[in-house]
Chain A
Amino acid sequence: MSTKVQPITSPPSPATKATTLTNEEILRYSRHLIMPEVGMEGQLKLKNAKVLLIGTGGLGAPLGLYLAAAGVGHLGLVDFDVVDFTNLQRQVTFGSDDVGKPKTAAAQARLSNLNPDIQIETFETKLTSENALELFKNFDIIVDGTDNFPTRYLVNDACILLGKPNVYGSIFRFEGQVTVFGMPDGPCYRCLYPEPPPPGLVPSCAEGGVLGVLPGIVGSIQAMETIKLILGTGESLKGRLLLFDALAMKFRELKLRKNHSCPMCGDHPTITKLIDYYEFCGVRGEEAPGPDVQVPEITPLDLKSRLDRGDDLFILDVREPHEFQICNLNGHLIPLGELPRRVHELDSSREIVAHCRSGKRSAEAVDFLHKAGFRKILNLKGGILAWSDEVDPSVPKY
């Protein structure tokens, strides 16, 4: 499947470099211009820079806002998603009115309003092995603010193949990691992590949650690194992995070395073109991973009618206690991680329906219990989210 990326907005201006600022621009950027580290020369570098943001979500929000405000002359935004209500807690580019709109269009409107002097090019598409090189080649710096391993490896490999810096940031709950990959003689993402974790072993952000301010801080550090690369000033995070723990409010720094046997950027690279990153990350199909295991299911409507009929069903809730407090179906709570040592609380002679928020964790629970000898066990398809949609809208979705 080849998706040629067509810019939705006007293509970049011809490769003529700006050599002057207008009087309005001089006023706008006066706090930059009076600093010797930026000055007129630096501001013109910013104006002539082309930065591509992969993802316009949590990390993309401060990135877009600060880079636009700073006067980065050409910003590209890649995202295929639409704004939803759960985004607003941290994706500060968007307002409540933007819910339902494509993120690229909503971000473009906001950033153009912030700085009408810059060009913003939007790509409402999923980044793929087919379009990445074509997309990246017109930009100087790529900033990775994505949320999944396949895209992270894709961004890394495309940057190495094209020799472009990759300003990397990732977050989980209260913790962030930032560095700059793809610099001459510097390490790449594969030097740090040769392989992704298998699906299911690391909780996803959607399940793990994230404190809204965290992407604001990590994305702002990425924006700072991007601007330093453009200005050619200061010390970049090349070769250093910055770890940020917001709960302890501690920054730590680890040495990041180039791996000379790295298959991507080492002395004898064995990866010379983009590959299938979903296969590489053990994710089947194009979309985000569903349950890894096929287990017997029951739909919310079937469950409702069986409960109404008075069938003896034991409802097992495998979410975390703090999720149970948000809403519940009066089930017996055993978090997935505690199931192995609390399995004695369950009666295998009774019919059990396991559920979680979306049906993914409970599929793992059903699989586990099936292997443990339980035979009358079903997974609630779509979890509480589907129950709220199909049976009882008074149950809040989260």
Chain B
Amino acid sequence: MSVKVIIPTPLRVYAGKADSTEVSAKTVGEALGQLTTKFGDLRKHLFTEDGKLRSFVNVYVNDEDIRYLSKENTPTKDGDTISIVPSIAGGLV
């Protein structure tokens, strides 16, 4: 299953400056696993030390938040887009 993962601007520095990458995965968890294998520096920004997805990082399959689907077990199909959306605070500075 070829799935596109969109990497947000703040995390691109940990992903060799890539803005997206293709992975082959049947679930969101698998896709993120492959992503962090490919880009090791991303791991600590996406997962806590005990391997849980960090609470300030939201993950979407197409336009749906995986917290309201089956979280990391959410299935993915060919052509799906996974978006990683971390909180950003900037505005005034």
Residues of A in contact with B (beta carbons under 8 Å apart) = 55-60, 79, 81, 144-149, 152, 169-175, 177, 192-197, 201-206, 208, 210, 215, 241, 243, 245, 247-248, 252-257, 337
Assembly CA distance A252 to B89 (angstroms): 19
Assembly CA distance A241 to B13 (angstroms): 23
Q: List 27 A-B contacts (CB under 8 A).
A: A58-B93, A79-B92, A147-B90, A147-B91, A147-B93, A171-B88, A172-B10, A173-B10, A174-B9, A175-B88, A177-B85, A177-B88, A192-B58, A195-B56, A201-B45, A202-B56, A202-B88, A203-B13, A205-B90, A205-B91, A245-B19, A253-B63, A254-B64, A254-B65, A254-B85, A337-B13, A337-B14
Q: Mark B70-93, 1 if CB is under 8 A from A, else 0.
A: 000000000000010111111111
Within 8 Å CB of A208, what residues of B? 10, 90
Residues of B in contact with A (beta carbons under 8 Å apart) = 8-10, 13-14, 19, 41, 44-45, 54-56, 58, 60, 63-65, 68, 83, 85-93
Residues A197 and B91 in contact, CB atoms below 8 Å apart: no
- Central interface residue in B86, B91, B92, by most chain A CB within 10 Å: B91
Using CB atoms, name the residue of chain B closest to A168: B91
Assembly CA distance A60 to B60 (angstroms): 29
Assembly CA distance A215 to B90 (angstroms): 9
User: Total number of A-B contacts with CB less than 8 angstroms?
Assistant: 118
Residues B90 and A210 in contact, CB atoms below 8 Å apart: yes
Q: How far is the CB of B71 from chain A (nearest CB, A)?
A: 14
Instruction: Beyond A149-B89, A204-B93, list 12 extra A-B contacts (CB 8 Å).
Output: A79-B92, A146-B92, A147-B90, A170-B89, A172-B88, A193-B56, A195-B55, A202-B56, A202-B88, A248-B19, A255-B63, A255-B64
Within 8 Å CB of B58, what residues of A? 192-193
Within 8 Å CB of B56, what residues of A? 193, 195-197, 202
